[in-house]
Amino acid sequence: MTKILHLDSSPRGQHSVSGRLAGEFIGAWQAAHPDDEVVYRNLGRNPISHIDESWIMAAFTPPAQHTPDLTAAIQLSNVLIEELLECDRYVFSIPMYNLSVPSVFKAYIDQIVRVNCTFKVTENGYEGLVNGKKMLVITARGGIYADNSPMADFDFQAPYLRAIFNLIGVTDISFIHADGLSMGEEARDRRLNRVQDEISALLESW
């Protein structure tokens, strides 16, 4: 049995393109793999807290020395990291906000990227501790940021996500970009049709 972590990061609910596409992927996957388990979080509708000074103190203090306040400060991070490690695969729906990720997803990243929990520092640099996982990121973008496009250098979303998850050991990452959504109805429909084909193809190989 495979355990999948499904995170939505748009606050738009049923109006979210990235959320709808990820939901369709998960639904088709579950239909084909009914024994698999899906753990779902809606970060857009239920934002998690940003890290603060107490969190930082707790993260760099041995657990045996934690005061009750430090234990409370790091509790959410512990829960999210345990959830991340227990799951085998990840499906993240992430709209592009201002060329990058929504702040709610950045808050999630800051909670799970934690030294000696999801990565460690060695004499050779960073070593990821979240190994053997697969990750799918479905994005929604108003413009087009493909490698050969004029806006390619403005994509701070996909490169960042790849880099930060590579750092913690997640290297098998697939991206499906629903882009060009603000470039007219015809272009939008054409692109969404292509994305549906990409999702169908990935379901066969993922």
pLDDT digits (tens, 9 = 90+) for 176-199: 999 989 888 888 888 999 999 999
Tens of pLDDT, residue by residue over 12-39, are: 988 999 999 999 999 999 999 999 999 9
Q: What is the pLDDT of residue 187?
A: 82
pLDDT along the chain (206 residues), means of 10: 97 94 97 97 96 97 96 98 98 98 98 97 95 98 91 96 98 96 87 93 92
Fold classification of 3-205 is Rossmann fold (3.40.50)
Please say whether the beta carbons of 88 and 125 come within 8 A. no
Q: Which amino acid belongs to residue 138?
A: I
Domain ranges of the chain: 3-205
What's the sign of the alpha-carbon dihedral 40, 10, 104, 108? positive
The pairing of beta strand 134-140 with beta strand 172-178: parallel
Q: Which of 37, 65, 69, 43 is nearest to 54 (CA)?
A: 69
Task: Tell me the pTM.
Answer: 0.95
φ and ψ of 136, to 5 deg? -120, 130
